[in-house]
Amino acid sequence: MNRQNAIGVLDSGVGGLSVLREMIAQLPHEDILYVADQANVPYGPRTIEQVREFVVGITRFLMAQDVKLIVVACNAASAAALYTVRDLFPAMSIVGMEPAVKPAAEQSQTGVIGVLATQATFQGELYASVVGRFAHGMQVEKRACPEWVLLAEAGDTNSPAAYDSVRRCITPLVEAGADQLVLGCTHFPFLKATIQDVAGPGVTIVDPSAAVARQVGRVLDDHDLRQPDDHTGHVIYTSSGETGAFQRVLGALVGAQIADAADVRGVRWENGQLDWAK
Ligand code: DGL
């Protein structure tokens, strides 16, 4: 593994950008290759087997590009396939996502925690193990909010429709006494201001993105894989969907200036394999 190589980051779509922006802030010298599998978004309502196939295919593509580390910046993908890709590619360091139940349990005053994610994340063993390990004596209320993935994919984070959807999803949790709402899907931090507004000031929204970027930094250090400080990191964004549409959503979510300057390229699925678009 070579420290000059890029870090691979994957998600079903634009959700992983919430992790990516923290990585850019904390690790500005790193090159990053981002894969948005927008041909297959959303992952949440799919079977674990189907999501696993996508994640293995994207991981193979990233390995073929010689990345030095992979971040599965998607809770659904991590739930379905983190153990699988670690088994298949034991020499590769792979950082995944799990719902941040631990910090929520530590901070909760009411003993009630709400976990917001998509169906695939709740189906996986990872979720059960996180709750089993960290939520002793807590009331953990889970809630699937698949509409928020579609809102973020449309770059819509605070329209009346977004507010309606957020209200529908979290009101029962807040009424049940939840004082911590865990964002268990990487698309959801883009709706954080709307969620906070609806939940009110007494509720803490737990967003794990910064902690995941810190973990990436630790893994780089453990393997002596950090780029030197005189290197300026470059991000290549790829989408298996329409690259023009990706660039527009990038503008809506992280700002027009970043989107205009972004290096966006196409990737395509063919016979179960992901490769650069011709
Ligand atoms: N960003 C994915 C996650 O963290 C979204 C899931 C989806 O595509 O439905 O779970």
The reported pLDDT for the residue numbered 188 is 98
Q: How many other CB atoms are found less than 10 A from the CB of residue 267?
A: 20
100 contacts: CB under 8 Å, gap ≥ 6: 182, 183, 184, 206, 207, 208, 211
Condensed to tens digits (0 to 9), the pLDDT of residues 82-107 reads 999 999 999 999 999 999 999 999 99
pTM over the 0.95 mark:
yes
Q: What is the pLDDT of residue 1?
A: 80
Q: List active site positions.
A: 74, 185
Residue 16 CA to ligand 1 center (angstroms) comes to 8
Would you state the pLDDT for residue 124? 80
In the predicted model, residues of the chain with pLDDT beneath 70 are none
Nearest CA to ligand 1 atom 2: 74
C-alpha span between 89 and 37 (Å, rounded): 20
- Residue 41, Cβ neighbours under 10 Å: how many? 24
Ligand 1 pocket (Cβ < 6 Å) reads 11-12, 15, 41-44, 74-76, 118, 121, 149, 185-187
How many residues would you count in the chain?
278
pLDDT the model gives residue 125: 87
Cα–ligand 1 centroid distance for 4 (angstroms):
29
In angstroms, the CA 36 to CA 243 distance is: 10
CB contact at 8 A, 262 and 241: no
Strand ordering across the sheet containing 112-117: 139-144, 112-117, 180-183, 204-206
Rounded to 5°, angle at Cα 107 from 104 and 207: 40
Instruction: Choose the residue to mutate in 121, 149, 207 for probing ligand 1, maximizing ligand atoms within 8 Å of C-beta.
Output: 149
Is there a cis peptide before residue 28, judged by omega within 30 degrees of 0?
no
The tokens describing 95, both together, are 């950082």
pLDDT at 18: 98
Signed CA dihedral, 149, 154, 157, 159: sign only: negative
